[in-house]
Amino acid sequence: MNKFVWKKKDLLGLEELSADEILHILDTSKSFYEISTRAIKKVPVLRGKTVVNLFFEPSTRTKTSFELAEKRMSADIVNVSASGSSLTKGETLIDTVKNLAAYKIDILVMRHSVPGSAHMLSKILEASVVNAGDGAHEHPTQGLLDIFTIRQKKGRIENLKVAIVGDILHSRVARSNIWGLTKLGAEVILVGPTTLVPKHFEAMGVKISHNFDDVIGDVDVINMLRIQKERQKKNLFPSLREYSDLFGLDERRIKKIKKDAIVMHPGPINRGVEMSASVADGPFSVILDQVTNGLAVRMAVFFLVTGGRKGKGVM
């Protein structure tokens, strides 16, 4: 275990983290993994701390994962969702959050459609801010749990070839993965139609391919992103069927992958679109490991961002 010391109050994105900081979160996550395997799945690390989960966009799995992480660390939690909050009455985000902060909360977990919203709040709040997704910008805990899973299965990140396939343009998951993976020395290849994988992504230090079959036999990790059916209406691709034919991972295409490759998906899966059911449930899939690991990673993040900052230890 490294001797690195965590100093940050917030987790906003992987862009602003160093390789050492990312590795420290991953190492810490390993220690939290064990808690969920116990008969009594609870430790008193966040006892007496208050966490507010503020979700302005619908979310099931991310919210459940954050909530379970909070509960297993003994935090007191409050859930606020956009529908039914005073935001529908025209209150600004800053007013909403300042009101929550007046209750002396310790951690704010927020998902919001505006990129940079978590960053803005972190500057005015004394509480720790954990970004649970800000527009198409970043989804750092998803990026971390993906990288944790790759490291768990492949033993390393350095020099691995990782393909991220699908709607990169609108994906915060892709961006967090790209930042994290490239910092840790992986080679990232983005795959998808030109409309969803524009050339300017090359500036992030990745390769781009518009032909999945060219890439598939050469990579160690395939991370399949969800295709949002609404995108088709904006003419970004002609039909779901054609998309699936060119960029979907099905029975036929899975035969071409390396024998020790892994297949990932952040969920929820459109079975039959980006991935066939047999692949999602097949031997290469680590999709449910990602879910389990997400819990450990989120616990580690809470532990690190709530670090004392108040003086010397006494034990």
Partner 1 sequence: MATVIKIMDKEDISRVITRMAHEIVEKNKKAEDIVIVGIRTRGVQLAERLLGKLSAITKREIPFGILDITFYRDDLDRIDEQPVVHSTEINDDLTDKVVILVDDVLYSGRTVRAALNALMDFGRPKKIELAVLIDRGHRELPIKADYVGKNVPTAKDEKITLYLKETDKMDDNVILERVNE
- Determine contact, residues 177/145, Cβ cutoff 8 Å: no
Q: Evaluate whether 107 touches 101 at the Cβ level (below 8 Å).
A: no
Closer residue to partner 1 (CB): 38 or 241: 38
3-class SS of residue 222:
strand
Site residue total, partner 1 (CB under 8 A): 34
Q: Which is nearer to partner 1, 254 or 296 (CB)?
A: 296
CB neighbours of 157 closer than 8 A, spacing ≥ 6?
Answer: 147, 150, 151, 181, 184, 185, 186
Residue 44 binds to partner 1 (criterion: CB under 8 A): yes
Residue closer to partner 1, measured from CB, 102 or 315: 315
C-alpha of 287 from chain center: 13
Q: Is 38 in the site for partner 1 (CB under 8 A)?
A: yes
Residue among 35 and 174 whose Cβ is closer to partner 1: 35
Q: By CB under 8 A, tell whether 30 contacts partner 1.
A: yes
Residues numbered 255 to 314 that lie near partner 1 (CB under 8 A) are 300, 303-304, 306-314
Token duo for residue 159: 């020099």
Q: Closer to partner 1 at the Cβ: 215 or 304?
A: 304
For residue 164, the surrounding DSSP H or E stretch is strand 161-165
**32 interacts with partner 1 by CB under 8 A:** yes
Residue 45 makes contact with partner 1 by CB under 8 A: yes
The tokens describing 158, both together, are 């350095």
263 vs 299, beta carbon nearer partner 1 = 299
CB contact at 8 A, 131 and 88: no
Q: Could you say which residues in the range 79-108 bind partner 1, by CB under 8 A?
A: none
Alpha carbons 151 and 145: distance in angstroms, whole number? 10
Does 39 bind partner 1 (CB under 8 A)? Our answer is: yes
- Told to check if 1 binds partner 1 by CB under 8 A, we report yes
Helix or strand holding residue 67 (H, E): helix 61-72
Q: Which residues bind partner 1 (CB under 8 A)?
A: 1-3, 5-7, 27-28, 30-35, 38-40, 42-45, 300, 303-304, 306-315
